[in-house]
Amino acid sequence: MNMKLTASTVAMAVTLGWALPASAQTADSAAVQQQLAEMRAQMQAMAAKINTLEGQLASANAKADAASTTAQEAKAAASDTVKVKWKGAPEFEGEGGWSFKPRGRVQVDAGSIGAPGGTGQDLGFGNEVRRARLGVEGSIPGGIGYKFEVDFAGGDAEITDALVDYKAGDVKLTIGQHNNFQSLEELTSSRFISFMERAAFTDAFNFERRLGVSAEYHGGDFLLQTGVFSDNVHEIGDTENNSWGGDLRAVFMPKMGNAQLHLGGSLHYRDLNDSAGTIRYRQRPFTHFTSTRFLNTGSFPAKSETSYGVEAAGISGPFHFAGEAYWQKVSSPGFADPTFFGGYAEIGYFLTGGDSRGYKKGTFDRVKPKNGFDKGGIGAVQVNLRYDFLDLNDAGIVGGKQDGYAISVIWTPTAYTRLMANYGRMEYTDAAIATGTGDRSYGVDVFGMRAQFDF
């Protein structure tokens, strides 16, 4: 359009230059010629200005095209950069399914145990680093995940988790050392349990991670877990394999309005395959920093274990409840086969508004305070009550009985920090340790505190 304007301008100038002299034969020739010269000069100046504007416009268009190209290149480069999220520690995510996150936890316990005199046990005050774990977790393209974690609390590096999993839709396959599927209490992380120690039966019946292969289906409100496991691998190079077993657990976990319901059951079999041919069940008094066991079956002949458990729990706003029952039957060659029993029932309530216990895929999960320290609030405060029962007496074996009554107060300043105080009264019958007067039925008082952070 601008080039046409320039051409028209020049044409008009030329036309005027030729036409006017022809039509002004009687006018003053000199004056006319001067006017024409002035008009030609003006036209030439306008044409020059138009040419300058055309050059400026072309330069601006070139700069705009360059800026657009640079923005597109920056956007393409940004799509290739690593994304970082904060989940107690940085989690790095890359293109195609790559991710990496450091993980760990530290739990420091202290407390005291009071028992009747004459038991000969070194009780009183105690403390320990209960857990000090460090590891990594993440994923690689193709639906493959990994986790590796080591616990340094005992002074040696012991492997807790070392696994690789593959997820396709609602199904996940896992191989390596990981939790087998024994109970809600055992599968809930120690970071999220409602007391410093889990219910007595989980420790007494030797629940622990084991090396194995498992499969899990999670679709809608249903969860099904099964696996085959050998022994726990505590250290790299530890190849001890004295047992194998299988586990099956099913959970129905519907939402009912704002309430979460949990109903589950599990079956287990373990062939001990041990040349010693014995097993032992025993339990500490509500805390871990003592080696004293007031309940203890002692070693007795055993070929295999068959066990089953039932679970029930629910969360509604600040309130939660949970309960389990678990039966452990032992095949004891040459003797009557004993069946031992353990279980618990608990309720809990948050005193801070808007807070609730977390739940995820068949286990209790992290509490995320509505008004944590990071938001200028005080965090979440929770109170829990529990009855904890364990019976290790059957078929001529006297390991003792426990009726445990406990209360805990948990303060969660942020989602990744926790302070806890517990008090428990353990009433024993047929205790493995007698008092100075020979009494085996008595009570033990336990008080404990824990400071915890994880990432």
Q: What pLDDT is stored for residue 368 in this prediction?
A: 97
CA nearest 82: which of 99, 69, 68?
99
Alpha carbon of 288 to those of 113, 200, 278, 421, 441: distances in Å? Answer: 11, 11, 24, 14, 22
Q: What pLDDT is stored for residue 265 in this prediction?
A: 98
Same domain as 282, residue 396: yes
Q: What pLDDT is stored for residue 13 in this prediction?
A: 42
In the block, which residue shows the tokens 């406990």? 406
For range 36-41, the mean pLDDT: 76
Alpha carbons 399 and 338: distance in angstroms, whole number:
11
For residue 149, is it within any domain? no
Q: What pLDDT is stored for residue 9 in this prediction?
A: 44
Residues 295, 181, 349: CA angle, nearest 5 degrees: 70
In the block, which residue shows the tokens 């976990």? 253
Same domain as 111, residue 12: no
For residue 83, is it within any domain? no
What residues make up the domain containing 14? 2-78
CA nearest 134: which of 166, 89, 75?
89
Alpha carbons 117 and 435: distance in angstroms, whole number:
6
- Per-residue pLDDT at 95 exceeds 90: no
Band of the pLDDT at 24, cuts 50, 70, 90? Answer: very low
Alpha carbon of 424 to those of 13, 116, 244, 410, 445: distances in Å? Answer: 109, 15, 35, 15, 6
Q: Domain of 381: which CATH number?
A: 2.40.160.10
For range 233-244, the mean pLDDT: 73
- By the 8 A CB rule, do 303 and 332 touch? yes
Letter for the amino acid at 442? Y
Same domain as 315, residue 283: yes
Same domain as 65, residue 180: no
Band of the pLDDT at 15, cuts 50, 70, 90? Answer: very low
For residue 84, is it within any domain? no
Alpha carbons 159 and 134: distance in angstroms, whole number:
10
For residue 90, is it within any domain? no
Q: What pLDDT is stored for residue 70 in this prediction?
A: 66
Same domain as 169, residue 246: yes
Band of the pLDDT at 119, cuts 50, 70, 90? Answer: confident
Same domain as 322, residue 268: yes
- Is pTM, for the whole model, over 0.85? no
CA nearest 144: which of 165, 161, 174?
165
Band of the pLDDT at 4, cuts 50, 70, 90? Answer: very low
- Which pair of structure tokens corresponds to residue 304? 């295999």
Q: Tell me the per-residue pLDDT of 162-177, one tens digit each, with 9 for 90 and over.
A: 999 999 999 999 999 9
Enumerate helices (H) and strands (E) in the chain, giving the number of each.
Answer: 4, 25
Alpha carbons 246 and 210: distance in angstroms, whole number:
11
Alpha carbons 339 and 272: distance in angstroms, whole number:
16
For residue 147, is it within any domain? no
Q: Which ranges in 80-158 belong to alpha helices (H)?
A: none
Q: Tell me the per-residue pLDDT of 426-446, one tens digit each, with 9 for 90 and over.
A: 999 999 999 999 999 999 999
Up-side HSE of residue 130: CA atoms within 13 Å toward CB? 23
For residue 316, is it within any domain? yes
Q: Tell me the per-residue pLDDT of 343-370, one tens digit each, with 9 for 90 and over.
A: 999 999 999 999 999 999 999 999 999 9
Q: Tell me the per-residue pLDDT of 261-271, one tens digit each, with 9 for 90 and over.
A: 999 999 999 99
Same domain as 114, residue 55: no
Same domain as 366, residue 270: yes
- Per-residue pLDDT at 239 exceeds 80: no
Same domain as 113, residue 52: no
Number of folded domains that form the chain: 2
Same domain as 371, residue 326: yes
Q: What pLDDT is stored for residue 269 in this prediction?
A: 98
CA nearest 431: which of 320, 295, 339?
295
Q: Tell me the per-residue pLDDT of 198-233, one tens digit each, with 9 for 90 and over.
A: 999 999 999 999 999 999 999 999 999 999 999 998
- Per-residue pLDDT at 276 exceeds 70: no
Q: Provide the percentage of residues in the chain whose pLDDT is more than 70.
A: 88
Same domain as 114, residue 172: yes
Up-side HSE of residue 274: CA atoms within 13 Å toward CB? 22
For range 89-110, the mean pLDDT: 95
14 vs 441: which has the higher pLDDT? 441
Same domain as 382, residue 340: yes
Q: Provide the percentage of residues in the chain whose pLDDT is more than 90.
A: 75
Q: Which ranges in 131-253 belong to alpha helices (H)?
A: 184-187, 200-204
Q: Tell me the per-residue pLDDT of 60-74, one tens digit each, with 9 for 90 and over.
A: 777 767 766 666 665
Band of the pLDDT at 81, cuts 50, 70, 90? Answer: confident
DSSP code of residue 11: H
SS3 call for 276: coil
Q: What pLDDT is stored for residue 3 in this prediction?
A: 41
For range 146-156, the mean pLDDT: 94
Mean residue pLDDT of the chain comes to 89
Alpha carbons 358 and 259: distance in angstroms, whole number:
12
Instruction: Give the helix, strand, coil percentages of the chain, each rounded to 5.
Output: 20, 50, 35
5 vs 44: which has the higher pLDDT? 44
Contacts of 445 (CB under 8 A, 6+ apart): 113, 114, 115, 423, 424, 425, 426
Q: What pLDDT is stored for residue 177 in this prediction?
A: 97
CA nearest 428: which of 121, 185, 187?
121
For range 390-419, the mean pLDDT: 98
For residue 155, is it within any domain? no
Alpha carbons 20 and 32: distance in angstroms, whole number:
8
For residue 156, is it within any domain? no
Q: Tell me the per-residue pLDDT of 367-397, one tens digit each, with 9 for 90 and over.
A: 999 999 999 999 999 999 999 999 999 999 9
For range 103-130, the mean pLDDT: 94
Q: What pLDDT is stored for residue 377 in this prediction?
A: 97
- Say if strands 244-252 and 255-256 run parallel, antiparallel, or are unpaired: unpaired
Alpha carbons 130 and 151: distance in angstroms, whole number:
10
